[in-house]
Amino acid sequence: MQLTKRREQIEQIVVTAEQMREIEGRIFEAGMPVAALMEKVAGLITRRIQTLYPYPQTRRVGVLVGPGHNGGDALVVARELRYQGYEVLIYRPINKLKELTSHHAHYAESLGIPFYEQIQPLLDCDLIIDGLFGFGQTRSLEGNLADTVKQLNQLSQPILSIDLPSGIHTDTGEVLGTAIRASRTFCLGLWKQAYLQDQGLDYLGEAELIDFGIPLADIWAVLGQSPGLMRVTSSMVRDCLPLKRSAATYKYKEGHLLLICGSTQYSGGAILTALGARASGVGMLSVAVPDSLKPLLVSHVPESLVIGCPETPSGAIAQLPDSVNLSKFSAIACGPGLTLDAKSLVQGLMGVECPLILDADGLNSLAELKTIPTLIRRQGATVLTPHIGEFKRLFPDSAELLPNRVSAVQKASVLSRSVILLKGARSAIANSQGSVWLVPESTPALARGGSGDVLTGLIGGLVAQPATAKFPLDAIVAAAVWWHAKAGILAAQERTELGVDAFTLSEYLIPVFQDSRG
Ligand SMILES: NC(=O)C1=CN([C@@H]2O[C@H](COP(=O)(O)OP(=O)(O)OC[C@H]3O[C@@H](n4cnc5c(N)ncnc54)[C@H](OP(=O)(O)O)[C@@H]3O)[C@@H](O)[C@H]2O)[C@@H](O)CC1
Ligand SMILES: Nc1ncnc2c1ncn2[C@@H]1O[C@H](COP(=O)(O)OP(=O)(O)O)[C@@H](O)[C@H]1O
Ligand SMILES: [K+]
């Protein structure tokens, strides 16, 4: 198999600690000696360190060694770096080591590498390598060890963590007592779930996968051919986007999206949602807004068909005009800026047969109306796009599984038979069979009012297009989230994190699309 093809497949895989241990077990059972694998992995780590932190610009390296095989990796790296000329110092706070780790410790000692039980001598090193704990950690860091980690986190020098920052739970990303705040982490073999959960993000630093050649057959044997967790990659997204139209197409063949959004209180939400939909390239865009918002919408999105709706006294949409035939739309997205005064409208949408995307007050209306059971009976597909607050209101039982966002969204999707996008720093998209897509990249520049509205429009516009109909709905939603995040990243690169207001974000969607066509 071509190396690039393998890499693409490996990049999509996400494992839990238990799965990693099972995969590792199969490799050892097949005959790979544990020590040989450690040597191979540590060799790859050492070479990356030499590239990223070359000698002699980086001269003194402090290595933190824990009791398990994470510590074993660190000891082999320490030995090899010393051989390359670096001055290496080792901090070993726990004396009882696993057998292989203990052998490496003896050998390192015999070479004259100094070992310390206190962190003090390592504090002026140019680089710290963290090999305290990897995926074997389950217990909290306490006592002296926790104090040491806090001390290390005050340093200005870079800290490189092996496999995971010590103290971070492999599956949930939770900080177990306290954790190393790494500037960079090398994830060994396969992406662990923690890299795709919000909780541990501030500790991981720049994350990089070190592929050490785990056979795909072993991975599939443990995960099954269609694994429950998948990482969204650019190649997966490329497969799902409407890249090329038929030369003979016309507007009604490229999907008709209806947006229902806005109120006099929140008029901007309707504009931003429409701008997100615009970037999807959908053939026809209709936008239903309260009557008094009609001129505003027309001026910002002149290509859209604006449907003025009767208003409640508070300026929300009271109902859709009788002339609107909901069966002619290929998708409907509803919610941004709606206010709860439009909740009877939301209830009325439950019967539509096309895919229905609900966001913001569309979701809050569902929560108030307690209509989750209605979702189960819907003929058409449903996509719910809550942020964490909306999620808790909608699915209080599933929310008990938080902060493990993966388990929480999985449970809620199965329960509501809907595709659910749980938004956050690392968004998760689940389908009703329990499969979850995780979006590995984004930017805190998106943590800003209105950026979710742009996403809702983009999702709606993609779902509405017949070109995407051959893909599973959850994959289309995941592709939209990836696209939106990439637009944020590009905008932040060019304009700083402060320069990514939601309108600007919508303008970066097409440049990202241009790039992703490959
Ligand atoms: N998978 C692969 O293919 C490869 C894996 N490799 C490497 O192996 C690593 C996994 O190694 P691992 O299983 O030995 O576990 P690791 O994370 O080193 O630590 C567990 C030890 O720490 C202890 N301990 C835990 N918490 C504690 C606390 N709070 N305070 C004190 N002690 C605590 C715990 O003790 P216990 O809880 O069992 O009493 C146990 O002794 C993996 O991350 C990677 O670096 C590579 O070498 C090759 C390829
Ligand atoms: N820290 C963060 N890092 C990356 N993306 C974020 C972060 N915080 C929020 N986002 C993204 O920004 C968007 C915010 O959406 P939402 O909360 O619905 O805001 P609004 O309703 O104001 O538009 C989501 O796509 C979410 O994933
Ligand atoms: K570590």
Nearest CA to ligand 1 atom 41: 68
Q: Is 79 labelled as part of a ligand binding site?
A: no
Looking at 127-131, 265-269, 372-376, which range is the least confident one? 372-376
Confidence band of 69 (pLDDT split at 50, 70, 90): very high
pLDDT at 429: 98
Distance 97 CA to ligand 3 centre (A): 15
Distance 446 CA to ligand 2 centre (A): 5
Q: 3-state class of 505 per DSSP?
A: helix
CA distance 6 to 177: 37
**Cα dist from 390 to 74, 267, 422, 446, 495, whole Å:** 43, 20, 9, 17, 30
Is the CB of residue 315 less than 8 Å from the CB of residue 263? yes
Half-sphere exposure of 197 (CA within 13 A, CB side): 25
What torsion do the CA atoms of 416, 421, 423, 426 make, to the nearest 10 degrees? 120
Q: Is 104 labelled as part of a ligand binding site?
A: no
* Alpha-helical runs (H) found in 53-180: 69-83, 99-110, 143-153
CA distance 253 to 242: 13
CA distance 503 to 82: 52
pLDDT at 175: 96
Is the CB of residue 309 less than 8 Å from the CB of residue 329? no
Distance 383 CA to ligand 2 centre (A): 17
- For residue 290, say if its preceding peptide bond is cis, omega within 30 degrees of 0: no
Nearest CA to ligand 2 atom 16: 452
pLDDT at 4: 84
Provide mean pLDDT across the span 449-467: 97
- Tens-place pLDDT, residues 2-27: 768 898 899 999 999 999 999 999 99
User: What is the DSSP pairing of strand 428-430 with strand 436-438?
Assistant: antiparallel
Q: Is 423 labelled as part of a ligand binding site?
A: yes
End-to-end CA gap in the chain: 21
Helix (H) or strand (E) holding 419: strand 419-422
Confidence band of 275 (pLDDT split at 50, 70, 90): very high
Burial environment of residue 20 by CB neighbours within 10 A (0 to 12, 13 to 18, 19 or more): buried
Distance 115 CA to ligand 3 centre (A): 18
All domains of the chain, ordered by start, with CATH?
Answer: 3-224 (3.40.50.10260), 234-243+250-516 (3.40.1190.20)
pLDDT at 376: 85
- Tens-place pLDDT, residues 280-324: 999 999 999 999 999 999 999 999 999 999 999 999 999 999 999
pLDDT at 157 over 90: yes
pLDDT at 465 over 90: yes
**Nearest ligand for residue 94 CA:** 1
Provide the phi-psi class of 360: left if phi over 0, else alpha when psi is between -120 and 50, else beta.
Answer: left
Q: Is 224 labelled as part of a ligand binding site?
A: no
CA distance 460 to 278: 10
**Nearest ligand for residue 506 CA:** 2
pLDDT at 239: 87
Distance 28 CA to ligand 2 centre (A): 43
Q: Is 134 labelled as part of a ligand binding site?
A: yes
Q: 3-state class of 181 per DSSP?
A: coil
* More confident: 482 or 373: 482
Q: Which atom of ligand 1 is nearest to the CA of 37?
A: 48
Provide mean pLDDT across the span 402-406: 91
451 lines ligand 2 (CB under 6 A): yes
pLDDT at 3: 67
pLDDT at 373: 79
Structure token digits, residue 71:
């510590």
* More confident: 133 or 374: 133
CA distance 242 to 84: 50
Nearest to 195, CA basis, from 227, 172, 175: 172
pLDDT at 2: 72
* More confident: 330 or 246: 330
**Nearest ligand for residue 168 CA:** 3
- Tens-place pLDDT, residues 221-241: 999 876 689 999 998 998 888
Mean pLDDT computed over every residue of the chain: 95
Q: Is 337 labelled as part of a ligand binding site?
A: yes
449 lines ligand 2 (CB under 6 A): yes
ipTM of the complex: 0.93
20, 64, 77, 135: which to mutate for ligand 1, most atoms within 8 A of CB?
135
**Percent of the chain residues past pLDDT 70, beyond the cut:** 99
Distance 409 CA to ligand 3 centre (A): 28
pLDDT at 1: 60
Q: Is 501 labelled as part of a ligand binding site?
A: no
**Percent of the chain residues past pLDDT 90, beyond the cut:** 90
Is the CB of residue 251 less than 8 Å from the CB of residue 284? yes
Q: Is 35 labelled as part of a ligand binding site?
A: no
pLDDT at 128 over 80: yes
70, 96, 130, 176: which to mutate for ligand 1, most atoms within 8 A of CB?
70
pLDDT at 228: 87
Q: Which atom of ligand 1 is nearest to the CA of 133?
A: 17
Q: Which atom of ligand 2 is nearest to the CA of 385?
A: 18
CA distance 256 to 285: 6
Q: Which atom of ligand 2 is nearest to the CA of 455?
A: 25
Confidence band of 147 (pLDDT split at 50, 70, 90): very high
CA distance 77 to 39: 9
Nearest to 338, CA basis, from 308, 359, 324: 359
Predicted TM-score (pTM) of this structure = 0.93
Is the CB of residue 484 less than 8 Å from the CB of residue 421? no
Structure token digits, residue 167:
């103290």
Looking at 121-130, 292-301, 369-378, 486-495, which range is the least confident one? 369-378
Provide mean pLDDT across the span 97-123: 97
443 lines ligand 2 (CB under 6 A): yes
Q: Which atom of ligand 2 is nearest to the CA of 451?
A: 23
Helix (H) or strand (E) holding 390: helix 388-394
